């Protein structure tokens, strides 16, 4: 997309204005998806401001849960130091798949052929005359 894309579009990543606003802010870390996290300044309540710069499309479901907790002030330090290591049974977080080929489609969905399973005998359809 080039330089013009980074000036005028926000949906494919941070704009030049965002990059300029982050000058002088402290880089706090990076997650497994390549998103970068920054902190600096104060908000109106006096709390430190925190940002994420997405690696790719701006989709908040691409922020892992541990970094989400840091962004929202639930933990004070970065997740590597503030949180316990992940358990062996924990699965990695997945981005929202709505609108993609990986989205969940139940058996009666049009993309799955549109044929629903027949109703069993315990179902009686409502009629206005009943």
The b/e string for 34-72 (b: 16+ C-beta within 10 A; e otherwise) is: ebbbbbbeeeeeeeeebbbbbeeeeeeebbbebbeebbe
Q: Which helix (H) or strand (E) holds 16?
A: helix 16-21
Supply the pTM of this predicted model. 0.66
Cβ proximity of 7 and 13 under 8 Å: no
| Residue 75 DSSP code | S
Per-residue pLDDT of 70-114, as tens digits, reads 999 998 888 888 888 889 998 887 778 888 888 888 877 887 777
Residue-wise pLDDT for 17-62, tens only, equals 677 777 788 889 999 889 999 998 888 888 889 988 888 777 888 8
Coil vs helix vs strand at 37: strand
């Amino acid at each position: 997309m080039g330089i013009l894309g980074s000036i005028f579009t926000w949906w494919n990543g941070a704009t030049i204005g965002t990059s300029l606003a982050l000058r002088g802010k402290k880089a706090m870390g990076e997650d497994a998806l390549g998103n970068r996290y920054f902190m600096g300044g104060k908000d109106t309540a006096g709390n430190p401001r925190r940002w994420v710069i997405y690696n790719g499309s701006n989709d908040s479901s691409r922020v892992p849960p541990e970094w989400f907790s840091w962004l929202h002030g639930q933990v004070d330090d970065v997740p590597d130091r503030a949180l316990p290591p992940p358990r062996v049974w924990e699965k990695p977080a997945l981005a929202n798949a709505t609108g993609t080929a990986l989205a969940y489609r139940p058996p009666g969905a049009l993309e799955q052929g549109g044929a629903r399973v027949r109703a069993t005998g315990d179902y009686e359809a409502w009629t206005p005359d009943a």
